[in-house]
Structures are given as structure tokens and as C-alpha cells.
């Protein structure tokens, strides 16, 4: 049995066939602080976010695409894997994605969390490669392909050819950073304290990074920072665009840096084919148009962009045999554990 695993900062996705995800839930876990008992994971834990008693803690155990709380990630992975692997007779092989720029310690932490379930093999693939496979791009030919995978924890930008990375860059200012900026902006300008879930809902509803619409509004609910009482506040798309403008600029600068470092031959291929956007943040209003305006290159948003990485991980399972025997130097999979 082969399993594809996208252990994302915001969502965990598992796939065991090429049609749909077996698991697609938030990377959230709730536990009792007194005895460390796991109370809920996924959607059930996300519903508790900001609404728990003092004894219960609800956290995202991954930050910036890497593990922040190893013990909790192991628990979460074990729960999700147990739902998929109903029989322990055949130990599964797992292809998991990792950010493009990751240390050996962070890499082994991810492998350790997955191995704790008792798998036969763990194979890793960079998120940008997996996103390229999942979006239908061919990265095994001698032809330049550029992918921008925009998630909650990281933005992975890569130019690929012959199954490898020619130029790549990973930045840890992505969707979650936007949520934090919205929280700070609303408190600074309107004196309203809101939580992460409210900020995320606002971003998804009205955020626009290119030519925002003043008439598009969202009703925020939170606590007045001076009086401490409940209060609601209407904000416009223009205000939210202002709040996340620094994050948007950072992402754009990283994309331009990668293009400037790309060899001319590959750059010609990219100019001809365009750039592919994947990841949940690819759906942010105006992102496609802004990148096209700033770079002069056509941008395509992949079909079901949030699922591209896990879909690509599953497609990469066909390279497992080659990776185990090291028969090919063009294998997109990394180290076998």
C-alpha cells in the first residue's frame, strides 16, 4: 500500500488513490494540558479554536511547513494513518512533501513523525515538485517549468527541468502571516481584538491584492480593546489589501529573485508556457493578475490548487521502486528512509 501525505501547516491531506483524498482536515490538535490527553484533531479541533476552557489547548503543531511540536504531530499522523490503514498486515510506503529549503534536523523530524506509525518506507519530495506533478506539468523533460506553491506556512517557488531544481526559493511569509497582519491591522486601526479564525474568514471573503473593491465588505466580530466588551466592525477589501500589502510585496520580490537567477534557456521556456500557481493562497483574489502585471509572464492557476501537492505526491509513488534501488539519477524523490 502506498500513501501520499501532504502534512501542511494549515491542512493535512492523505491520498491512497488517484481520485480523491482519504483525509483532508485542518492540521489542528486539541489536548488536555493536565494529562496531555488528545481530545480532538482536524475539523473537530478547529471548531474548538479560541473557544476552550483553561484546561484545554488547541494548536497548529506545524509552523512554516516544518514541525514545531513533534509529539503532537506524531499523535496527529498516527490518528490519520490509522483511519486509512485499517489493516496492519501490510506496512505502507509513504511519499511525503517537504518545503524546498529545510534543514536535516527538520527533515528527520518529519520522517520520525511518519515512521512512528510503523511504515515500511518514507520517501520525501519537495513541495514544488509535487505541486508540478499534481498540476499536470512535465518536469522530467529538458524543458523549463516554473511552479509557485502558495500555502499557509510557506511559499515555494521553483524552476525545474529533468526532474530536478534549477533555481528555487522558499519564504515563510504566506497565508498565516497574512492572518497575523490582519489581526494587527484591525486592532491598530479599529481597536478591535479578533482571533485567527475570524482573520482567516475575512481574508478568504474580501482580501484582494490587486485593485480591491471598496464596496466589498466583511463584518468582523471581536472584543473592544478599550472597553473589553463584544463589538462588531465592518471592514472593506481596500483595508484588508493594505493590511497584507507587506506580505504580498515579499512574495512578489521572491518570485522576481527566482526569475532573475533562472538560466536564459529555461527562462525562454517559462515565457512561452507561463507560470503555474498552486496551493490554497493561489485562490486569493487578484494574486494571478498581480504576478502577471509585475513579471509580464502569463500565470495559470491550477485546477483544485490546494490539492496539487498531495495529488503530486501520489503520482510520485510510481518512482518508489527506482528510488529504493537507485536505478535512475532523474528520480524526483529524495532520500529513502
Domains of the chain, residue spans? 2-130+311-325, 140-301
Alpha-carbon gap, residue 168 to 139, rounded angstroms: 14
Domain 140-301 has CATH 3.30.420.40: yes
Architecture of domain 2-130+311-325: 2-Layer Sandwich (3.30)
51-106 per-position pLDDT tens digit: 888 899 999 999 988 899 989 999 999 999 988 887 666 788 999 999 988 888 98
Cα–Cα dist 193/121, whole Å? 46
pLDDT value of position 102: 86
By three-state DSSP, how is residue 43 classified? Answer: helix
pTM recorded for the entire structure: 0.91
Question: pLDDT for 236-293, tens place per residue?
Answer: 999 999 999 999 999 999 999 999 999 999 999 999 999 999 999 999 999 999 999 9
pLDDT at residue 327, rounded to an integer = 62
pLDDT at 298: 96
Nearest to 149 by CA among 167, 134, 164: 134
Amino acid at each position: 500500500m502506498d500513501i501520499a501525505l501532504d502534512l501542511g501547516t494549515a491542512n493535512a491531506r492523505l491520498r491512497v488513490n488517484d481520485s480523491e483524498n482519504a483525509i483532508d482536515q485542518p492540521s489542528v490538535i486539541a489536548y488536555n494540558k493536565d494529562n496531555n490527553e488528545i481530545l480532538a484533531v482536524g475539523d473537530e479541533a478547529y471548531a474548538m479554536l479560541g473557544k476552550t476552557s483553561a484546561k484545554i489547548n488547541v494548536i497548529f503543531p506545524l509552523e512554516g511547513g516544518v514541525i514545531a511540536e513533534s509529539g503532537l504531530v506524531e499523535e496527529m499522523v498516527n490518528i490519520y494513518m490509522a483511519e486509512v490503514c485499517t489493516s496492519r498486515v501490510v506496512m505502507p510506503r509513504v511519499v511525503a512533501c517537504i518545503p524546498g529549503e529545510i534543514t536535516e534536523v527538520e527533515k528527520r523530524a518529519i520522517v520520525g513523525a511518519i515512521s512512528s506509525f510503523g511504515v515500511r518506507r518514507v520517501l520525501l519530495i519537495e513541495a514544488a515538485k509535487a505541486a508540478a506533478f499534481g498540476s499536470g506539468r512535465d518536469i522530467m523533460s529538458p524543458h523549463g517549468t516554473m511552479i509557485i506553491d502558495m500555502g499557509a506556512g510557506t511559499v515555494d517557488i521553483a524552476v525545474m527541468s529533468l526532474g530536478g531544481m534549477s533555481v528555487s526559493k522558499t519564504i515563510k511569509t504566506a497565508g498565516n502571516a497574512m492572518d497575523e497582519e490582519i489581526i494587527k491591522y484591525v486592532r491598530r486601526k479599529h481597536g478591535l481584538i479578533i482571533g485567527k479564525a475570524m482573520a482567516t474568514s475575512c481574508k478568504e471573503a474580501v482580501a484582494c491584492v490587486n485593485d480591491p473593491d471598496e464596496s466589498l465588505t466583511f463584518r468582523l466580530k471581536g472584543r473592544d480593546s478599550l472597553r473589553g466588551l463584544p463589538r462588531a466592525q465592518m471592514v472593506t477589501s481596500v483595508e484588508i489589501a493594505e493590511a497584507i500589502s507587506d506580505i504580498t510585496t515579499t512574495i512578489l520580490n521572491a518570485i522576481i529573485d527566482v526569475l532573475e537567477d533562472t538560466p536564459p534557456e529555461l527562462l525562454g521556456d517559462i515565457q512561452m508556457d507561463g507560470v503555474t500557481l498552486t496551493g490554497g493562497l493561489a485562490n486569493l483574489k487578484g494574486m494571478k493578475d498581480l504576478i502577471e502585471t509585475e513579471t509580464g509572464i502569463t500565470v495559470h492557476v491550477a485546477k483544485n490548487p490546494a490539492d496539487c501537492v498531495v495529488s503530486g505526491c501520489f503520482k510520485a509513488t510510481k518512482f518508489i521502486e527506482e528510488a529504493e534501488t537507485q536505478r535512475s539519477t532523474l528520480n524526483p524523490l529524495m532520500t529513502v528512509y
